[in-house]
Amino acid sequence: MYQIKLDAPDDFEGWRAAARRLARADVPPERIIWSVETAGSGSADDLFAEAFSGAGRPDMDGSESADAAPFAISRAFLDLAQTALLHSDPARFALLYMLLLRTRRAPHALHDKADPLVRRVEALAQAVRRDKHKMRAFVRFREIGNGDDAERHFVAWFEPDHHIVRANAGFFVRRFPNMRWSILTPATSIHWADGILREGPGANRSDAPDGDPVEDLWKGYYSAIFNPARLKVGAMLSEMPKKYWRNLPEAALIPALIAGAQAREAAMIAAAPRKERLSQERMSR
């Protein structure tokens, strides 16, 4: 068995380098144990595994030696792998390695969308894309500071499903380059100030501020833009599942809005003058 330890759960470069060496040496997937380096993980090492370096064998030292078979990985595979690798499924490294071997033998393997392995990896990538999108949507900044522009700092607490935080930082930089902001999550935090993006350790919800004066306005807007005459709770839930609610200030209003909706429409119809209702009934006959 070979043990491959990646530096971080989203260490794509590390996975790629290792996978390239392993594939060139034709190591079968079942002989590899993939894991992520964590503090104190040493004791959990597989006792029967040996670290794989490829050192000592000319075809396995990681450099493109002259007689090594050319090994091109398609752009399509890299794009897919780069995304799928951020998934929290521990099997992702192995699945991607299997798919890599497959594409080496059959360059068109990725096109076979009905193949179970391709499907599975695409489903991982799809879940990651959705998680990234939802993070972009549902991060809510709260302001700390005293209103003095130089002191303003916007802080958010977010709980992603997958290892997307680093990969998603660019979006917030492009959108808010002139704000000082931090996004705290259980596994990592990212901070932007003065044009520099920094990474920090994971945080707790209590590290983030618990309110913002503008939130009341936002909640007022959220209630007012809702049309109680067309309740579609299922449609809302499929795009904004409950797991996000606890970090969305406006979500606290939802139960009351739903409860009030039916009563409000009934009242509206009952309030119409009787004469009009009669003429309406006549019209519809």
Question: Does the protein bind other proteins through residue 213 (CB under 8 A)?
Answer: yes
Question: Does the protein bind other proteins through residue 285 (CB under 8 A)?
Answer: no
> Please, what is the minimum distance in Å from the beta carbon of residue 252 to other proteins?
12
Question: Does the protein bind other proteins through residue 98 (CB under 8 A)?
Answer: no
Backbone angles phi, psi at 25, to 5 degrees: -90, 10
Question: Does the protein bind other proteins through residue 131 (CB under 8 A)?
Answer: no
Residue of the chain from 47, 66, 69, 108 that contacts other proteins (CB under 8 A): 108
Q: Max alpha carbon distance in the chain (Å)?
A: 95
Number of residues that bind other proteins (CB under 8 A): 72
Q: Position of tokens 């007022």?
A: 220
Nearer to other proteins, 34 or 103 (CB): 103
Q: Any idea what the Cα angle at residue 149 is, between residues 143 and 153, rounded to 5°?
A: 30
Type and span of the H or E element at 196: strand 196-201
Nearer to other proteins, 136 or 243 (CB): 136
Residue of the chain from 119, 198, 205, 246 that contacts other proteins (CB under 8 A): 119
SS3 state of residue 182: strand
Q: Report the site for other proteins in 189-208 (rule: CB under 8 A).
A: 195
Nearer to other proteins, 57 or 175 (CB): 175
Give the pair of three-digit tokens for residue 273: 């003058």
Question: Does the protein bind other proteins through residue 137 (CB under 8 A)?
Answer: yes
Residue of the chain from 8, 17, 187, 240 that contacts other proteins (CB under 8 A): 240
Beta carbons within 8 Å of 90's beta carbon, 6+ residues apart: 34
Give the pair of three-digit tokens for residue 177: 């380059």
Q: Position of tokens 């039916």?
A: 262
Smallest Cα–Cα separation from 142: which of 128, 155, 152? Answer: 155
H helix count then E strand count, the chain: 9, 8
Q: Which stretch binds other proteins (CB under 8 A): 17-25, 161-169, 171-179, 201-209?
A: 171-179
Question: Does the protein bind other proteins through residue 234 (CB under 8 A)?
Answer: yes
Residue of the chain from 56, 64, 239, 285 that contacts other proteins (CB under 8 A): 239
